[in-house]
A and B are shown apart, each in its own frame.
Chain A
Amino acid sequence: MVYKTNIRPAWVVLVLLMIFTLAFTLVKTSDNNAPEQKVQTEKIIPTKIDLSKFKNAEQNEKCLKCHGQTKYSYENAESKQTVTKRMYAELVLNRDVFYVSNHKGFKCTDCHSEDYETFPHAGNLRMETKANCIDCHGGDEKYAKFKFEQIESEFQASVHSEKHSKDFTCWMCHNAHTYKINARTNENLKQTITYDNLICLHCHGDVNNYQLLTDKEKPNLLQKHEWLPNQASHFTNVRCIECHAKNEDTLVVAHHIMSKKNAVRKCEACHSKNSILYASLYKQQVKENIQKEGIFKGLLMADATTIGPDKSNTLNIISILIFALTMLAIAIHAAFRIKKSS
């Protein structure tokens, strides 16, 4: 052999592979150190919010001095002793969350009876019904673009209201004290995905909440979705409603949750050029791109930042061109060979 003293490429590749693996593990470990987006937990007092900025805050403090904390104290009128009790978790309102929410400008008594201002609260106040979205937002021109009426009718047609009748209200998913508009305004897709999925998981991932509405056994989500390849990727990159809600072009977030037999199960529903995700998860992004860049470029750009297959038209055109040129070169070469040999 002539080249015996030379290094074979196989060895070079082996060494490169080892370096690559090393570099990869380094990147991976530093990746793990990256700050994770934290789901907000209920941390009561002290608040970071500058309450003096809110003109409703002084009034609200009358309620929040008890309901803004996990415990409250009062003097027992008979024994004259101060009693400290835990605040029932669902009655705790975190100022940090409320004062950044969409309803931050409201006074407690805008929605709740003013009778609550006396303590102990009168027994009949328990009968107070909670307002639903449509009660305030229905028929209001200022909110027309949010299409609350359509949301309401989609919701009425969904499995949630069909199966649970009156028990299931807007509040099951949207707490008016904490609700903050998200899909429409948040540019971070991942945050929107987490936000929306946590809404479903509030019940479908927590048997205590689930069984508030039904006596049925809670299905195991991981098992039910076992057929999904790379389950973890799917769970973190798309929302439950992508497959489980009937999507209408006129709503930003679909509210018509379908029964499980109608859920999308075909891979190519998303993993294709006409992916349904363009009409749901990516809708807002695509629309914004079109507004900013015009319809042609906007669609192209949206193409380049999305799912699985067939990402970029430009890349497709380039590859078809390269392929055509290669074939042309081969054809010309072959033609010359045939001509010369005959």
Chain B
Amino acid sequence: MNHQPERLYLYPVWIRIWHMTNAILCLTLIITGLSIQFATPGTVIKFKTAVSVHNIAGILLSLSYAAFFIGNLLTTNGAYYVIPVKGFLDRLLKQFRYYTVGLFKKEDAPFPVSEENKFNPLQQSTYVVLMYAMVPFVILSGWGLLYPEITVKSFVGYSGLDLTDLFHIIAGFTISIIMCVHIYFCTIGKSPWSNFKSMLNGYHESH
């Protein structure tokens, strides 16, 4: 039933390097971010250390995001992030049904991985929202907090800095949640480990 070749080279070296950097930076940012958010005198990570590490990791994340952004602009990998509008909702629902029902009935995936479709519709929309909305947003608001003097002083009566802070926290939280789901969904593959292996060696193993 599966006519795809066994192994597809889907994750070029630059994507793998970017992704590894990105994952490490995001984890660092989440851990230090949480310890800043819930700071109490005498926490495990010193407040000052947490702030410095968070700032440095944030700056590095901006660089790594720029690499991803430019890479997707210049290479063919960017095409995987274009969502065809026609029938989008249908495809999304189909994939959703597969994850909630079909998977357990051992049905075939409705959108098997191929060279044209690296991502299924759910994966694709998540990645697009993540990489082209949430991550840029968290980076921009982060810079706004790093240099409060560039941030708008007040916006419709609220302190601009407070709003930026609020948005930064909400965006960071959203990314953390998506990351948890992302890692879990990566265990759905030929074997629970195969997708993680793909991100190391570049080859996708089909079902």
Interface residues of A (CB under 8 A from B): 1-4, 6-13, 17, 20, 24, 27-28, 31, 34, 229-230, 232-233, 266-269, 271-274, 308-311, 315, 319, 322-323, 326-327, 330, 333-334, 336-337, 340
Q: Which A residues lie within 8 Å of B76 (CB)?
A: 1
Contacts A6-B82, A8-B82, A336-B104 hold; do A232 and B40 have CB atoms under 8 A apart?
A: no
Contact yes or no, A334 B82, CB < 8 A: no
**Docked CA distance A268–B48 (Å):** 8
Q: Which A residues lie within 8 Å of B81 (CB)?
A: 8-10
> Does more than half of chain A's interface fall in helix, strand or loop, or is it mixed?
helix
Q: How large is the interface on B (under 10, 10 to 19, 20 to 34, 35 or more residues)?
A: 35 or more
List the 6 closest pairs (A to B, CB-CB), nearest first: A268-B47, A9-B132, A272-B39, A6-B82, A3-B82, A10-B73
Contacts A17-B136, A230-B148, A311-B166 hold; do A266 and B47 have CB atoms under 8 A apart?
A: yes
Residue among B39, B41, B51, B188 with max Cβ neighbours from chain A (10 Å): B39
Q: Which B residues lie within 8 Å of A309 (CB)?
A: 36-39
Q: Tell me the number of A-to-B contacts counted with CB atoms below 8 Å.
A: 117
Let me know if B79 is at the binding interface, CB within 8 A.
Answer: yes
| 22 pairs of residues in contact across A and B, judged by CB atoms under 8 Å | A4-B79, A6-B79, A6-B84, A9-B131, A10-B132, A34-B153, A230-B148, A233-B149, A233-B161, A268-B39, A268-B41, A268-B43, A269-B41, A272-B39, A273-B40, A274-B41, A310-B37, A322-B177, A327-B180, A330-B181, A336-B104, A337-B103
| Mask of B72-113 contacts with A, CB within 8 angstroms, 1/0 | 110010110110100000000000000100011010000000
| Mask of B123-136 contacts with A, CB within 8 angstroms, 1/0 | 00000100110001
Known: A12-B132, A232-B148, A337-B104; 9 extra A-B contacts, CB below 8 A, are A3-B84, A6-B79, A9-B131, A233-B149, A267-B47, A272-B47, A273-B38, A273-B40, A319-B173
Q: Which of A17, A28, A268, A315 contacts B152 (CB 8 A)?
A: A28
**Docked CA distance A4–B69 (Å):** 17
